[in-house]
Amino acid sequence: MSNEWVQAEVAWALEWSRPMLIARFDGSSWTDFRRALPNAPPLSSSGSIETFDFGAEPQRAAHDLAAALDLLLDKLPYLPT
């Protein structure tokens, strides 16, 4: 996880106990991401992490990710446009 923007987003999500959806395209794991952020706060019990492995089963991962996004969007407060 060398991209500074990705690092900042993950650190923010950890700090604010926000849910995270991780799309994997290689053999990396959540612990690999966490090691890249040594100064990030620990994951609180209110945050959640879901991982979708596009390397092993891309069609299933795409389906599961879409379903997780739908559930996450249903939980967000309504924002008028």
Mean pLDDT of 57-70: 95
Contact 20, 47 (CB under 8 A): yes
32 belongs to a structural domain = yes
Model confidence at 72, in pLDDT bands (50, 70, 90)? confident
Is residue 41 included in any domain, yes or no?
Answer: yes
Q: How many domains does the chain have?
A: 1
- How do strand 49-53 and strand 20-24 relate by DSSP bridges? parallel
pLDDT, tens digit, for every residue of 1-29?
677 888 788 878 878 878 888 888 887 77
- 60 assigned to some structural domain: yes
Q: What is the pLDDT of residues 44-60, one digit of tens each?
A: 544 578 889 999 899 99
Instruction: Output DSSP code: residue 56.
Output: T
What single-letter amino acid sits at 70? D
Q: Which domain holds residue 70?
A: 4-75
Task: Please check the confidence at residue 61 and state whether its pLDDT lies above 70.
Answer: yes
Could you tell me if residue 81 is inside a domain? no
What is the average pLDDT across 61-73? 93
Cα(first)–Cα(last) distance of the chain, in Å?
A: 34
* Domain presence at residue 80: no
